[in-house]
Structure 1
């Protein structure tokens, strides 16, 4: 059974709430029924890809 998919905007909003210390990771996870490991993966993607995070990684040649 596949998991849920979340929009790029949702992921960035969740990370922003945690980053601005508006909410703890635990609070966000409870509110949205997310796993802390998922939040960790989202953070890593932003660290590695910056503004390109959560976008399709395919190039025009691969499409």
Structure 2
């Protein structure tokens, strides 16, 4: 079952807060009801593919 969709801006904002040590991964997960593994996947995707990793596939399919 797929999870709820998150926007590119949301993902980047979450990762930025963690990266700048404004919040820990655990804090962000509690605040937004996210699984830590999701945050780690987002971080790995950003490191390997950059912001292009967070393109909205649904919108790309409609184009």
Partner deviation per Cα, 1:2-58 (whole Å, 9 max, x = no partner): 31110000000000000000000000000000000000000010011113121157x
Bigger relative contact order (CA 8 A; separation at least 6) = 2
Equivalent pair of 2:8/2:56 in contact (CA under 8 Å): no
Aligned length: 59
Q: Find the structure with the greater CA-based Rg.
A: 1
Change (3 A) 1:32 1:56: closer
Any unmatched runs of 5+ in structure 2? 58-62
Question: What's the counterpart of residue 31 of structure 1?
Answer: 31
Normalised to the residue count of structure 1, the TM-score between the two structures is 0.82
Normalised to the residue count of structure 2, the TM-score between the two structures is 0.82
Any unmatched runs of 5+ in structure 1? 58-62
